[in-house]
Amino acid sequence: MTTTNTTRFTGRTVLVTGAGSGIGRAVALAFAAEGAQVVVAGRRREPLDETVRLIEDRGGKALAVTADVSRAEDAEALVRAAVDLPRSRLRSSGGTPIGSLDVAVNNAGVFRGGQPLADLPEADWREQLDVNVTGVFLALRAEIRRMRTQPSGGAIVNVSSTFGAHTSPAGAAAYSATKAAVTALSRSAAADHIRDGVRINVVSPGATATPMSLRRGETEADRAERARATLPLGRISATEEVAAAVLHLASDAAASTVGTDLVVDGGGSL
Ligand SMILES: NC(=O)c1ccc[n+]([C@@H]2O[C@H](COP(=O)([O-])OP(=O)(O)OC[C@H]3O[C@@H](n4cnc5c(N)ncnc54)[C@H](OP(=O)(O)O)[C@@H]3O)[C@@H](O)[C@H]2O)c1
């Protein structure tokens, strides 16, 4: 029997950080395609506006909100914006408040690496900690504080990485440390808040088709060749494949999945 899931998120409000590019944009598009109104967040306005345009062109609803997730006030404002902005701000909506934050995807992240640890500038270490760990903590805290007041609770998916909890590649010590922290933070937070009706899980992508997985000086063709030679699947993941895992964990079908870390890496960490 063929089943279709195109309405899994109808009427739900979804917040996606880092949604102006790469995996975050694919996640935002996928939620919108399944009926959600999506708040897309990041620091730069232009890429967010482009994500909104892509969603609206496909008949979906989205709103861009600029925020730096490493700042507590921005993370809190982001959640308030998702909950409080009148529907009239969303094209073809009425005038009532959105009212709830049903799903949040904490995807914003940075990679500063490529060199051995001894050559890593302290500023790069601090930036990755600020965005990848403190940013997830601040967003998570603001989202949980809202979701636990809602009768329907909420679902949160944090985007980590195979680097850290699953593999330990050279040239990525700081990044790997931050991503291992995301996985650990998420699992403990999941235990803390499942009884509040807030369900938290992790998706850990391996190499995915965005500029972040390109090594210094590498072209996309070089990357494809590297993947053919080294990954069990023989290719890197598409952003849509990572998005599919995020949507599954956020959906009602995963209602009893709590604190899991779903690896999407073509077998790269086996
Ligand atoms: N691509 C891969 O191979 C891969 C593998 C494993 C895990 N990941 C993870 O997947 C996530 C998405 O990565 P990607 O490959 O899609 O990279 P990307 O295209 O660079 O996306 C990262 C997004 O995060 C946003 N961002 C960065 N710092 C931010 C901040 N302080 N506040 C708010 N937004 C911020 C960026 O927008 P602004 O600059 O406008 O803020 C950007 O849109 C990251 O967490 C990454 O670590 C990627």
- Is 24 a member of any domain? yes
3 lies in some domain: no
How far is CA 259 from each of CA 46, 65, 138, 198, rounded to the nearest angstrom? 34, 28, 18, 11
Q: Is residue 170 part of a domain?
A: yes
- Name the residue of 15, 16, 21 whose CB sits within 8 Å of the most ligand 1 atoms, as the mutation to test its pocket: 21
How much distance in Å is there from the Cα of 9 to the middle of ligand 1? 23
Counted domains in the chain: 1
pLDDT at 84: 76
Q: What is the CATH number of the domain that holds 213?
A: 3.40.50.720
Whose alpha carbon is nearest atom 29 of ligand 1?
A: 108
In a domain, 4, yes or no: no
Containing structural domain, residue 229: 13-264
What pLDDT, on the 0 to 100 scale, is given for residue 201? 98
Q: Which parts of the chain sit beneath pLDDT 50?
A: 1-4, 86-88, 91-92, 95
Return the pLDDT at 187.
97
Ligand 1 contacts CB of residue 238 (under 6 A) = no
pLDDT for 89 equals 54
Which ligand 1 atom is nearest residue 175's CA? 47
Is 8 within the bounds of a domain? no
Q: Is 186 in the pocket of ligand 1 (CB under 6 A)?
A: no
State the DSSP string of the chain.
-----TTTTTT-EEEEETTTSHHHHHHHHHHHHTT-EEEEEES-HHHHHHHHHHHHHTT-EEEEEE--TTSHHHHHHHHHHHHHSBGGGSTT--SSB-----EEEE-------SS-GGG--HHHHHHHIIIIIIHHHHHHHHHHHHHTTSTT-EEEEEE--HHHHTB--TT-HHHHHHHHHHHHHHHHHHHHHGGGTEEEEEEEE-SBSSGGGPPTT--HHHHHHHHHHH-TTSSPBPHHHHHHHHHHHHSGGGTT--S-EEEESTTTT-
Residue 270 is assigned to a structural domain of this protein? no
Ligand 1 neighbour 154 (Cβ under 6 A): no
Residue 2 in any domain: the answer is no
Q: How far apart are alpha carbons 233 and 266 in whole angstroms?
A: 5
Q: Is residue 6 part of a domain?
A: no
Q: What is the pLDDT of residue 2?
A: 42
